[in-house]
Amino acid sequence: MSSGYISYSPIEELNIQFGQGKHFIGDGYRSMLLSDNSFNYPYLSFSLNLLEGKLFYKTVNAWMQTLERMPLSASPEALFKRKSGSFHYLSFKPKKQLEIGFFEGVIYRRYEDSIGEIAVDPSFYIPVIGVGSGLNANNEENKVVFGVNMNVVPIENVKIYGQFVMDDFSKTGFQVGGKWFDLFKAKNSWLMLEYNSAVPYLFTKSSENIIQSYSHANQELAHPLGASFNELVVMAHFEKNRFFATAKYFYAQKERFGGSIYGENIFLPNDAILIAVASEKISWNYFGGELGLNLNIKTRMQIFGNAYSRSESGDNWSSNEWFWQIGIRTALNNFYYEQ
């Protein structure tokens, strides 16, 4: 796994990045728009900051892939089928306590079974929000996702945030949450409460264009649960000098039909026929805590130890596992172990 980038600012308001990595849009633990859940990808990014920070615009052009290989050729190992992604985010902050942003993401077709590699749609290269969704919203080949990201600071050290996401003008999801910073006047300590929800078949495509699902390298670009879920997140973090403690609790629920979860897997087509069978509610619980010592704040180098429980249950069955870790890490990337 490699990551890194070259950054250049020809003027103070403009930043240009070219590298290998991932991006995150939002204020919560999860993002329903674009998260850092998936594997790294090569990208070119432009960021523009105007009106003394009140107006922010970011555009990302990314080169992505599936984990489905092209037909065998003269090479000993065929390449993976490719796709491209463009992401645009326009944020307006009229006051320090209020921010509202508009997001657009399009996954573009770059491979066709009968031809092989094809040229990407020209709208991929247009760095203007609204163009990609306007030209591709009714296009079955490309996947369009757009949404809103908001946060407000009603009182000091408290932030309320939320997101709304829609794909192809038909399926929706949302996030609502809150953070309390400097918990009990302890610097760098906080408490978070968050709720995420998505309808079935959000982020997926039809069987003819399933490789354009909202994903990269068989990992979701938004929420790691895919679609058709409800999730509650509760987290608390406390720091004193260089010592820290973190507690986490996650609860998620899906509905399963005849052994398969209805609309949950974004790598399965949204035109699949569902046979009417009895359903059951499937629930996940994840909780535990972590203790550690910060050795280097800038690189997040830490000595840590943790223990977590992860369980799954249905109408007449359940399973449970415990796992623990002790180690030293440089936590430059986020990793998600809840599901």
Q: Would you state the pLDDT for residue 6?
A: 98
14-43 per-position pLDDT tens digit: 999 999 999 999 999 999 999 999 999 999
| pLDDT-above-70 percentage for the chain | 94
List pLDDT tens digits, range 145-175.
999 999 999 999 999 999 999 998 889 999 9
Say if CB 129 and CB 90 are below 8 A apart.
yes
> What average pLDDT is seen over the chain?
91
Taken in order of first residue, the domains within the chain and their CATH numbers are 4-330 (2.40.160.130)
Give the residues across from 165 on adjacent strands.
147, 173
| Inter-CA distances, 170 with 50, 104, 131, 227, 324, Å | 34, 15, 19, 14, 42
pLDDT, one tens digit per residue, over 274-329 is: 555 567 788 999 999 999 999 998 888 999 999 999 999 988 889 999 999 999 99
CB 59 within 8 A of CB 87: yes
Collapse the DSSP code of 115 into the 3-class scheme (helix H, G, I; strand E, B; otherwise coil) and give the result.
Answer: coil
Tens of pLDDT, residue by residue over 99-156, are 999 999 999 999 988 888 899 999 999 999 999 988 887 778 899 999 999 999 999 9
| Model pLDDT, residue 73 | 62
- The reply to whether the predicted model has a pTM over 0.85 is yes
Judge contact between 301 and 329, C-beta under 8 A. yes
